[in-house]
Amino acid sequence: MTVPRLTLNDGRSLPAIGLGTYPMDDDEATVAVAEAIRIGYRLIDTAAKYGNEVGVGRGVAESGVPREEIQVASKVRGSDQGYDETLRAFEKTRADLGLEYLDLYLIHWPLPRLDRYVESWKALVRLREDGLVRSIGVSNFTPDHLDRVTAETGVTPAVNQIEMHPVFPQEALRGANAERGVLTQSYTPLGRGRLLDAPAVVEAAGFHGVTPAQVVLRWHHQLGVLPIPKSSDPARQRENFDIFRFNLREWEIERISALAGSRYGGDPDTHEEF
């Protein structure tokens, strides 16, 4: 299957779907990542906070696919924010993954009370300049956070990975990302499975002859968002990956976007995760 690619503001690109790995442990990640890559996934997402970077790296190595064909993303955790701290944290991440370079490195949370995310961003810029990271971005950043790091460094994040699903569609933040040339990635894209029985989703799945999960992931794609669904089950991985053979109708997208609900995770202005 040919997977579309999404262009970043640094001239590089990412495949239009990736594999999330939270909350897998090392052993589960090794098997799940290797199988996902064999299925066709070429973007694998992890984070220092997940505690599975060793397993993700093993999965990449055991997949049988050349390293240069796989894009690996990780994130610096809150307890490692700061310029020197981030550089040290990156070296540990790189060692745990067993990789010479990362394709994407993100700041996991802004932690505004700590007020170290700008210094962390400067470290990410340095890592990109040194060729140790191909692209750099952030996660859970608001427009104000994005504007501050850009203003203080002259470098705009390539990616902002945020919680997004049909009951929390993030229209305003997606628009702000787009205005700044920042690609939106979505974690928890299936809403923890809680919205797969919504009539708007079920009816669209029936019409197109696909599953509710495929409808929701296709909804992300047609909104220009890159989803990273987590699954360690090969059948589910294949199902999640197979979203490029059909198109939702515009009114189906609007109906799914209108589902009522709220976020499941933390508010970036107040959430603290170290």
Write out the chain in H/E/C secondary structure.
Answer: CCCCEEECCCCCEEECCCEECCCCCHHHHHHHHHHHHHHCCCEEECCHHHCCHHHHHHHHHHCCCCHHHCEEEEEECHHHCCHHHHHHHHHHHHHHHCCCCEEEEEECCCCCCCCCHHHHHHHHHHHHHCCCEEEEEEECCCHHHHHHHHHHHCCCCCEEEEECECCECCHHHHHHHHHCCCEEEEECCCHHHCCCCCHHHHHHHHHHCCCHHHHHHHHHHHCCCEECCECCCHHHHHHHHCCCCCCCCHHHHHHHHCCCCCCCCCCCCCCCCC
Residues of the chain with pLDDT under 50: none
pLDDT tens-place string over residues 102-139: 999 999 999 999 999 999 999 999 999 999 999 999 99
Q: What are the structural domains, with CATH classification, of the chain?
A: 5-194+223-230 (3.20.20.100)
Q: Specify the pTM.
A: 0.97
Known catalytic residue at 50: yes
pLDDT tens-place string over residues 15-57: 999 999 999 999 999 999 999 999 999 999 999 999 999 999 9
Residue tagged active-site, from 22, 41, 50, 187: 50
